[in-house]
Structure 1
Amino acid sequence: MSSWLVAAPWLSARTIHAYYFVLRYGERGLMRVAMIRVLLLMTAAAVAVVAVNVAAADEAIVIDGGTLIDVGRPELTGPATIIIEQGRIRAVGPAGELEWPAGARIIDARGSYVMPGIADMHNHLRDGLFRQGGDQAGVLRNLLSWGITTTFNPGVPVEEYAALRSAIAADPAAYPQTFLIRGVFTTKGGWGNGFTPETPAEARAIVLQLKAAGSDGVKLMYDDMRWATTRPFPVMDRAVAAAIIDEAHKQGMLAFAHAPIQELAKQVLEDGIDCLLHGIISEPIDAEFIELMKRNNACYISTLTMFQTNAGYAEWADRLKAFDFEKRLDSNALAIFHKAPNGTARLDNTDWTVERLPVLRLNLFTANSAGIPVVIGTDTGIPGVLPGIAAQLEMVMHVEAGLTPEDVLKAATSNPALMFGRAGQFGTLAPGAQADLLILNADPRRNIENIRRIRHVIRAGRVVR
């Protein structure tokens, strides 16, 4: 039973409806590979979230005989041996050809599949239920048991940022590798709560404060929310947005945007945005959009799961239940979604969104086909987007949109490393990389749903499941 998905049958539909408006958003994004080798990374390791035999982080581990899956290194094929020491991959070679460290823990992986841990690069560390607050550190810890060894929260509330940073720093081995952005930029009366600079100079000053606080980038809410409401919100002044992006780049920081409307996304792309935190849902993406994305080497995070919840919480809860083959989700908590109304008095345009879900999926396929770096992200914490399982379903929905399983595995492993300028350091089975691995009982290349069939999770050289 998952500790974060708590049964709450006492919540009335009215209470759910009230919480919905408060919780229904917060998002963030990606980056330009050429600009990002300077960013700070928080190293995390693992925590035992289920009853397992936990290896010490400094214990040598030999994973022997498993079939390796690393879409960034297709030369890694066949049964192989991986040697892990001091939290990193020391050596990879054909089974039987490497010398094993004395006293190493041996994992017999014959018949299993070994791949890098997966990343969810748009995750607000909330439980996805209809309530405010929550234990962000607890949600973060539990992601490991779902196979998520890297995550990105692009918009931690300012009042919670320091405490979350401190919790991770106190025991970094207890969490996935975690990237955080402190707060978001919006405008007065605009979507989301955050910084509301009125001039470019004010915006630049705030970026400097974020840099000093160790934020892993900046996030702009550049959306009038027409896809969710018939009464659009004000949008940030473009000169202010351009100043935020420019100052972030001057400070060696990445700039992410919540901008699912194509015309608005083009504006921030023209100004240099590094990553879009949501897919374009307004209309099919055009040649100009693709050219701008490629010019910036910007990444594309679709958050299909978040948009899909607009089709109805009851239907989505049924899909979650059917996908949860380990029966980890609380059925009483899932039942809450059958009471939940779609939309709110303010967010009253969900039918428009549902009509354009095929456009969202088509745009993902088009972006991937054009060579734009696609990255897995869920917008976890939005009602219905539940921690861990949402990332697995996001991968399935990417295949349903027309991507190959290999494309999706790349979007969940090596592309997240590229977006933060850390190629070869995680998201790979290469020697020297962080030992963040999954051992699966079935091949996700044959059926992406096999990403659920987890035998072991290893985070920074520690077996956590």
Structure 2
Amino acid sequence: MRALSLLVLAVHVAHAAPDKPALAIVGGTVVDPGGSTTPAATVLVLGNRIEAVGPSSRVKVPAGATRLEAKGTFVVPGLVDAHVHFFQSGGLYTRPDAFDLRAYRPYTEEQRLIREHLDETLARFLRNGVTSVADVGGPFWNFDLRDRARDNSRAPRVAATGPLISSVARPELDLGDPPIIRCGTPDEARALVRREAPRKPDYIKIWFIVTADQPLAKNRPIVEAAIQEAHGLGLRVAVHATELATARAALESGADILVHSVRDAEVDDAFLRLARERKVIYIPTLNVRSGYLRTLHQKLDLTFEEFTRGDPWVIGTLFDLAHLPAEKLPEPMRRGREKPASLALDPTMAKNLMSVLRAGVTVAMGTDSGNIGTLHGVAVLREMAAMEEAGMKPLEVLQAATQGGARLMGREKELGRISPGALADLLVLDADPRTGTRALARIRRVVKDGHLIDPETLIPDSPEALAQRQLNAYNARNLEAFLAPYAEDVEVRDLEGKVVSKGKEAFRTRYDERFRTSPALHCELRGRVSAGAWVVDEEWVTGAGEPVHALVMYEVVNGRIARVRFMK
């Protein structure tokens, strides 16, 4: 009977909806996180929805359909990043309430740059296989961004809310449309919920911060009032609560989503029972705190994918602490740099994640991207690797990154699965995701809303971007990432115009030795001009003997740096 049904479906598909564009992904292994694995399968998409899935011998492809031959690949649902903040860039200057470096970059300038590059930021999520994101708190312009993404085929689906209802003030972030608003009374909290409601938020966000001045008992009535008001309007509530007592109070007050791990103590049976009964979504965000610490201590340890897929200018700011005068840093930053910091996975957070998962609570993968050191888009790879390190099996991580996120988006019937009727958000991978989360970096194609996308073409690197990428990798002494922007036949000339190096392998030998023997090597960019294919950088290089003041010209040909000329 099942075979007959598939045959009937296939015959129907062959003649269905001629006005809708058809896409057939043929021959790959379909890995549905909540279902079975189907080898040698065809996924047929009509318009923006999946029409049929099954063995290629049983799913007929309509005449005129776009056909992607996918033998040897693996097809999975598009990823969902269940915790991002678009009002933050991920760079050094994006949270002056934490690292107050406004003397070096005014917060108005940081916000201008963020707003100016939002389309690129959206595209970076698709570049890394993220077809849906949930912004869990920011200015009211978040809602405009959600609308903007809805009509953009190069953007993920966006769920959003407005300003965080907070127990503490963050005046450093207030430029007239603040992302965080302190509510000192239950009435103020209710009023902010009602103020956001006309914009149709996908949830309300509460920042439940407990301090000596703002104890739990003082703020719990405010949290309860906000949740009651939101639920009365049919809105779910997400709560930032990182202590066990605070998280428990949030659940008892009716929270629907916990946007971070409990990190101060191991969760107990009563907490797990309450979370399960309330059908809570738990987003562990295992890496966001270490992003601040890695930046502060200049132990960034960025991956090849982060160097090559992250925003190059944002990444560049993360290295600025290597040349900003230490004595001019704010006192909290100076004290923080003096303290030893563990950059390893937090064992309490890891254990709590596994306890929550084994208790049957929904886990959703979220990065908290936009915070310092946590890059938009590519941060999902680091986060999923941490979830695997914590003890989750690769398929469990994939479920959290698809089905868990789909539930957070409020679209579990349409997203996070590969079945007829689901939205056509898919990844075609060159590696098997059942073997480990690293496979999720091997993206051949992205399908977003039925559109087939080559991820390599989403954000073409300009000559300035290529120059910045090689500079970032130089400062990290990451040889492979440093070489990536260069042409195979790259030519280097000295001040007199003499060729001193020819070809990438000679380049490799030259810089491999420099990186290995100069652990303090750092290049400060002091100026840059560009014209067409040419970029000229003024550089100040330290950490390899006497400081060098250089003027370097880069020429880009066919998307790679082909010639380098030292002019000074």
Flag whether TM exceeds 0.5 (same fold): yes
Aligned to 1:429: 418
Q: 1:443 to 1:329 in 2, by over 3 A?
A: farther
User: Which 10-residue stretch deviates more, 406-415 or 280-289?
Assistant: 280-289
Q: CA deviation at 1:163?
A: 3.6
Q: Report if aligned partners of 1:364, 1:401 keep a CA contact under 8 Å in 2.
A: yes
Q: For the residues of structure 2 that align with 1:319 and 1:242, how far apart are their CA atoms?
A: 41
Q: CA deviation at 1:162?
A: 4.6
Counterpart mapping for 1:228-247 below 5 A: 237-247=219-229
Q: Report if aligned partners of 1:278, 1:300 keep a CA contact under 8 Å in 2.
A: yes
Residues paired across the two proteins, number:
400
Q: For the residues of structure 1 that align with 2:227 and 2:271, how far apart are their CA atoms?
A: 18
The one-letter amino acid of 1:405's match is: P
The one-letter amino acid of 2:32's match is: D
Q: For the residues of structure 2 that align with 1:81 and 1:239, how far apart are their CA atoms?
A: 54
Q: 1:376 to 1:355 in 2, by over 3 A?
A: closer
Aligned to 1:203: 189
Aligned to 2:167: 187
Aligned to 2:67: 106
Aligned pair partner of 2:89 in 127, 134, 147: 127
Q: CA deviation at 1:73?
A: 1.2
Q: CA deviation at 1:421?
A: 3.6
The one-letter amino acid of 1:336's match is: D
The one-letter amino acid of 1:335's match is: F
Aligned pair partner of 2:148 in 167, 173, 192: 167
The one-letter amino acid of 1:100's match is: V
Query: TM-score, length-normalised on structure 2?
Result: 0.65
Task: Give yes or no for the alignment of 1:157 onto 2:147.
Answer: no
Q: 1:388 to 1:356 in 2, by over 3 A?
A: closer
2:83 match: secondary structure: coil
Aligned to 2:273: 291
Q: CA deviation at 1:329?
A: 6.3
The one-letter amino acid of 2:145's match is: L
1:64 match: secondary structure: strand
The RMSD of aligned alpha carbons is 2.8
Aligned to 1:213: 199
The one-letter amino acid of 2:43's match is: I
Q: For the residues of structure 1 that align with 2:297 and 2:331, how far apart are their CA atoms?
A: 21
The one-letter amino acid of 1:367's match is: V
2:165 match: secondary structure: coil
Render the CA deviation track for 1:341-371: whole Å, top value 9, x for unaligned. Answer: 8x96457678688698221112112211221
Aligned to 2:157: 177
Q: Report if aligned partners of 1:120, 1:377 keep a CA contact under 8 Å in 2.
A: yes
Q: 1:312 to 1:221 in 2, by over 3 A?
A: same
Aligned pair partner of 2:39 in 70, 74, 78: 78
Render the CA deviation track for 1:186-242: whole Å, top value 9, x for unaligned. Answer: 1354798533334333322322222211111111111226xxxxx776666211110
Task: Give yes or no for the alignment of 1:143 onto 2:125.
Answer: yes
The one-letter amino acid of 1:246's match is: Q
Q: CA deviation at 1:326?
A: 5.3
Aligned to 2:464: none
Aligned to 2:536: none
Q: Report if aligned partners of 1:308, 1:357 keep a CA contact under 8 Å in 2.
A: no
The one-letter amino acid of 2:199's match is: A
Render the CA deviation track for 1:407-458: whole Å, top value 9, x for unaligned. Answer: 1000000111223442220111111111000000001211211110000011
Q: Report if aligned partners of 1:337, 1:384 keep a CA contact under 8 Å in 2.
A: no
Q: Report if aligned partners of 2:127, 2:309 keep a CA contact under 8 Å in 1.
A: no
Q: Report if aligned partners of 1:116, 1:438 keep a CA contact under 8 Å in 2.
A: yes
Q: 1:276 to 1:345 in 2, by over 3 A?
A: farther
Aligned to 2:319: 335
Q: 1:306 to 1:339 in 2, by over 3 A?
A: farther
The one-letter amino acid of 1:460's match is: D
Q: CA deviation at 1:289?
A: 1.6
Q: CA deviation at 1:406?
A: 0.8
The one-letter amino acid of 1:238's match is: R
Q: 1:269 to 1:204 in 2, by over 3 A?
A: same
Task: Give yes or no for the alignment of 1:381 onto 2:363.
Answer: no
Aligned to 2:5: none
Aligned to 1:95: 56
Q: Rg bigger for which structure?
A: 2
Q: Report if aligned partners of 2:281, 2:362 keep a CA contact under 8 Å in 1.
A: yes
Task: Give yes or no for the alignment of 1:304 onto 2:286.
Answer: yes
Q: For the residues of structure 2 that align with 1:453 and 1:317, how far apart are their CA atoms?
A: 26
2:379 match: secondary structure: helix
Q: 1:232 to 1:65 in 2, by over 3 A?
A: farther
Which structure 1 segments of 5+ residues have no match? 1-56, 226-230
Q: CA deviation at 1:399?
A: 0.3
Q: CA deviation at 1:324?
A: 4.4
Render the CA deviation track for 1:227-286: whole Å, top value 9, x for unaligned. Answer: xxxx77666621111011112112111100111111111111101101111111111111
The one-letter amino acid of 1:167's match is: R
Q: 1:199 to 1:324 in 2, by over 3 A?
A: closer
Q: 1:65 to 1:207 in 2, by over 3 A?
A: same
Q: 1:351 to 1:58 in 2, by over 3 A?
A: farther
User: Which 10-residue stretch deviates more, 112-121 or 290-299?
Assistant: 290-299
Between the aligned residues of both structures, percent identity stands at 30
Is the strand fraction higher in 1 or 2? 2
Q: Report if aligned partners of 2:168, 2:214 keep a CA contact under 8 Å in 1.
A: no
Q: For the residues of structure 2 that align with 1:188 and 1:370, how far apart are their CA atoms?
A: 33
Aligned pair partner of 2:26 in 55, 64, 70: 64
The one-letter amino acid of 1:148's match is: V
Aligned to 1:464: 453
Q: For the residues of structure 2 that align with 1:144 and 1:316, how far apart are their CA atoms?
A: 29
The one-letter amino acid of 1:113's match is: F
1:278 match: secondary structure: coil
1:456 match: secondary structure: strand
The one-letter amino acid of 1:121's match is: A
Q: For the residues of structure 2 that align with 1:439 and 1:249, how far apart are their CA atoms?
A: 39
Aligned to 2:481: none
Aligned to 1:49: none
Q: CA deviation at 1:177?
A: 0.8
